Amino acid sequence: MTVVVKCAGVGRTYPGPPPVDALQPADLTINRGEYVSIVGPSGSGKSTLLNIIGLIDRPTSGHYILDGVDVASLKEADRTALRGQRIGFVFQSFHLLPHRTAVENVALAQLYVGPKARQRFLNAAEALAKVGLSHRAFKMPNTLSGGERQRVAIARALVNQPALLLCDEPTGNLDSATSSMILDILDQMHADGYTIVIITHAPDVAERADRIITVRDGVLHV
C-alpha cells in the first residue's frame, strides 16, 4: 500500500514572545485511498496540521514526506509546484473568483500547471461533470447556490487529479441537506480512489471517514 502522507515528529512552534506550540511533534501516516477526518475544537491545532500537510506552512521540527517526496529539502518553487499539482484544496468559504464562470474557476487550477487553454477548458468541463454541474458551467459564482459553489470548488480541487484532497470544513457554510450532498460527492471520490483528509467540527461529518484523528491542545490522538 502506498503512503501519501508520512509525518515523522512533525511539529510547529510559532515564534514568540512567548513561543506557542501550535502542534506538538507528532507522527502521522495516511495511505493512498484513505478517507481521514481530523476533529478538534477551534484553536486545537488542526488547521496548523492541515496547512503543513497542504504545504502552505512549514513544520519547525520533524520530517514530512508527501507522495514520496521529502518536502523539507525542497526549494520554495518546487514546494509551490508540488502544492499545485499533488494537492487539491476545498475551503469552507469556497474561495471562487467572483468574476469568472464556474468552468473558468475550475480551469484556473491548471493555469500554472501546463496545459493549453483549450485543454484546460476541456479538463474543467469534465471535472464539473463529475460533480454533476455541467449545466451550470457558464454561470457566475454569485448566481450559484452554496452547494453548487462548493461543488465547483471540489471540481477545481479534482481537476489536477491530486494525490491528496484536503477539505477544510467543507460543509461549514452549508445547511444539512446540502452538506449531505457534498459528503455524498466526497464518498464518491473516495470510492474512485482519491485520498481525502477532511477537517470538521461536526461529529456526523467526521463519522463518514474511515479513520478519525482528534487534535486537542496541539496533541494528535491517532
Partner 1 sequence: MSRRSRLSLRDLFSEALSGLLQRPGRSMLTMLGTVLGIGSFVAILGLTSTAAGQIDKRFTELAATEVRVEDVGADRVSHEMSFPMDAHDRVMAIDGVVTAGLLWPLPLRNPTMSAVPGMGASDEGLSLHAADPGALEAAGPVVASGRLYDAFHEGRAERVAVVGAAVARRLGIQRLESQPAIFLNGTPFTVIGIVSDLRRLPDLLLSVIIPTATALALYGPPIEHPATMLIETRLGAARVVADQVSIALRPDAPNRLKATAPPDPRSLRGNIAGDLNALFLLLASISLVIGAIGIANTTFVSVLERTAEIGIRRSLGARPRHIAAQFLSESAILGTLGGVIGSALGVIAVVAVAVLKSWTAVLDPATTLAAPLAGTIVGVAAGLYPGLRAARIEPIEALRQ
- DSSP letters along 73-94, please? G--HHHHHHHHHHHEEEE-TT-
Closest C-alpha among 72, 49, 44, 54 to residue 4: 54
* Cβ atoms 156, 97 nearer than 8 A: no
The residue assigned the cell 515528529 is: 9
C-alpha cell at 55: 504545504
Residue 20 interacts with partner 1 (CB under 8 A): yes or no: no
Q: Does 32 bind partner 1 (CB under 8 A)?
A: no
Cβ proximity to partner 1, 136 vs 156, nearer residue: 156
Helices 176-191 & 146-158, crossing angle to 10 degrees? 20
Does 63 sit near partner 1 (CB under 8 A)?
no
Nearer to partner 1, 97 or 191 (CB): 97
Residues 97-126 that bind partner 1 (CB under 8 A): 97-100, 108-109, 111-114, 117
The stretch among 20-28, 91-99, 143-151, 211-219 that binds partner 1 (CB under 8 A) is 91-99
Helix (H, G, I), strand (E, B) or coil at 97: coil
Q: How far is the CB of 29 from partner 1 (least distance, A)?
A: 21
Residues that bind partner 1 (CB under 8 A): 51, 54, 56-57, 69, 76-78, 80-87, 89, 91-93, 95, 97-100, 108-109, 111-114, 117, 156
